[in-house]
Structures are given as structure tokens and as C-alpha cells.
Amino acid sequence: MEIVAVDIGGTHARFAIAEVDGGRVRTLGEPVTLKTAEHGSLQLAWEAFAHSRGGTLPRAAAIAVAAPINDELIRLSNNPWIIRPPLIRERLNVDSWTLVNDFGAVGHAVAQVPDADFIHLCGPDIALPGRGMITVCGPGTGLGVAGVLRTATGYHVVETEGGHIDFAPLDRIEDALLKHLRGIFNRVSVERIVAGPGIVAIYETLAAIEGRAINRLDDKTIWTRALEGTDSLAAAALDRFCLALGAVAGDLALTHGPKGVVIAGGLGLRLKDHLLASGFGDRFVAKGRFRNLMASIPVKLITHPQPGLFGAAAAFAQEHQ
């Protein structure tokens, strides 16, 4: 059957037509990206997408939302839209639908996309396991974390708030980073470092260590300079970010006891070449007595261009198979 897949974030809402059958996604059409600031609600954006397709849409929806899911009222992060699940049938003119957290959708994508949509980062260069737990984490505006449990009869996605575990520094530079952040926050979670905005704190900490004047730059500017290689301090901050991501991914792996780990998110994909060339892998396995265990875990990067849309459709397919 055909469904409308939607992936709603703070800045953009992406729409596509997907075909699902037998609990899986068979095809995902070309996505249409709308700016949330240009539409007053999900219903109005839905109508704009319908207009772009001649006015008619399938009567089924798979909606991934950057917010906790509940049955009454969903308030989106960094987006003034609200969604009232009891009104979805009426407002969107659908007969069936699935609502899923945005990173839960990524977990569904990890479970269903083919092996060709992953590249190897570290550990044994083998496919993700057909059974057992797979940890999924993705740096973006925050740090999303989920688990995918594959069994003999299918899979289950477990949404978590793993991005809010405590940050554990591993050297004197990270000690300084933690001290810097403790001057701002009562509690320092890993999301304060291993997410897009975290590059600012890393940059400012390195500037202080170097005895340089601290220029107040936003995260987008620092990321641009780091990825372009035009600022040595930003480049060093990028290296530190990759190290911290490797350590956090390893901690999450120990917590979940997985057979595989997947790095996801738009920022993760942008960092592909840097992760491969950085100390990410060394930090991932550096878990003392468990080093050999960590070295046995395949770590991948998902490269599918629309994991949120694909995962939303996969969540619908699984729920309504």
C-alpha cells in the first residue's frame, strides 16, 4: 500500500510517498522539503505537499516527530507546531497512521535498509548481526540514542534518552572541558559535547588552553571553519569531537551489550571522512578490561539520504503489517 511518510524537525518538514508491504518498506519516493517557518501547522504543510502532487494523497500516514510521543498533545522541539493525535484522522484525512519519535524512526531505518546503506568505521568489517542488540546514536542538534533488538521473528526499536548520561572526561583536555561546562550548567551530559552545539564549548576550551582570546562564534561558523580547514583551532575542536563521540558510542555499547553499533544523523554523515581518519575507533575500544570485547563489535555509519522518512515508513509497516 502507499502511505505518506513525514519527518518533522525544527527547521524542515520532509514528505515523501512510500510503498510498504509485509512489514517492510518497498520504495521511498523523492522527498519534498518544506520550511516549518513557512507553514503554521502540520495540517497546512500537509495541504501544501498535497497541492504539489495535484491535491490527492494516500489515506495513511507515517509521521516522525522531533519530540516525545504521547496520546494527547505533542509539542515539537525548536518548532512552534503542536500535534494532537486524536485529531489526526480528521485534520489529515487519513484512515490509519503511525507516530514515532524521530530517532525511533532512525532505529527502524537501521533495521530495514540494506547493507549497501552502511559504511564501515571500525571493528570487524562484517555486516550488522541478524540477531541481538544494535546501538544507534546520532549527533545533531542533540544526541539521539536508540536500540534495535533483532530476533528470529523480527525486530524491536527501543527509544532512549541515552544522550543525557553524564560526561566522563578521559584526559586533561577533557577535564578542562568539563570544568568549562560546569561553569554554565549544573550537570554536564554527553549531549553538551557530542552534539552540534557542543563544538562551541570544545572550541572555547581549546582557546583558553592555548592562551588565545576567546572569540564568541556560533556552532555553525565553527563547524564550517572546521570542515573547510580554514581555522586550526576549529580543526582541533573537530578532532576532539570525534574522540568524544567514539568514547560515548563505546559507553553506550557497554550499556546495551550490543552486537553492533551504528552512527546516524545528518552531522554524523557530514563527518564521515573525519571519523575514518580520527581517533574515533581508538576511543571506542578503550574500555580497559573490555577492550577485546569492544574490538569485536562492528561499527557502521548509515549513509541512507533520508533515514527519518524511510524509518517513519518502516515504523508504519511494522505496526500495520
Residue 222 annotated as part of some ligand binding site = no
Give yes or no for residue 78 having a pLDDT over 80.
Answer: no
pLDDT for 129: 92
Give the model's confidence band at 248: pLDDT under 50 very low, under 70 low, under 90 confident, else very high.
very high
255-273: per-residue pLDDT in tens?
998 899 999 988 888 898 9
pLDDT at residue 17 above 90? yes
SS (H, E, C) the chain: CEEEEEEECCCEEEEEEEEEECCEEEEECCCEEEEHHHCCCHHHHHHHHHHHCCCCCCCEEEEEECCCCCCCCEECCCCCCEECHHHHHHHHCCCEEEEEEHHHHHHHHHHHCCHHHEEEEECCCCCCCCCEEEEEEEECCCEEEEEEEEECCEEEEEECCHHHCECCCCCHHHHHHHHHHHCCCCCCEHHHCCCCCHHHHHHHHHHHHHCCCCCCCCHHHHHHHHHHCCCHHHHHHHHHHHHHHHHHHHHHHHHHCCCEEEECCHHHHHCHHHHHHCCHHHHHHCCHHHHHHHHCCCEEEECCCCHHHHHHHHHHHHHCC
Q: Residue ranges of the domains in the chain?
A: 2-108+305-319, 162-302
pLDDT tens for 145-199 read 999 999 999 999 998 889 999 999 999 999 999 999 999 999 999 999 999 999 9
Whether 6 has a binding-site annotation, put simply, is yes
Q: What are phi and psi of 213, to 5 degrees?
A: -65, 140
165 is in an annotated binding site: no
**10 in a labelled binding site:** yes
pLDDT over 70, % of the chain: 100
CATH number of 162-302: 3.40.367.20
Quick: pLDDT tens for 22-32: 999 999 999 99
Would you say 9 is a known binding-site residue? Answer: yes
State pLDDT tens for residues 117-156.
Answer: 999 999 999 999 999 999 999 998 889 999 999 999 999 9
List Cβ neighbours of 86 (8 Å cut-off, separation of 6 or more).
Answer: 71, 72
Instruction: pLDDT band for 233, please (50, 70, 90 cuts).
Output: very high
CA distance 173 to 193: 13
Q: Does the fold of domain 162-302 match that of domain 2-108+305-319?
A: no
Q: CATH number of the domain at 2-108+305-319, out of 3.30.420.40, 3.40.50.970, 3.90.45.10, 3.40.50.2300?
A: 3.30.420.40
- Asked if residue 266 belongs to a known ligand binding site, the reply is no
Instruction: For the full predicted model, state whether its pTM sits above 0.95.
Output: no
State percent of the chain over pLDDT 90: 85
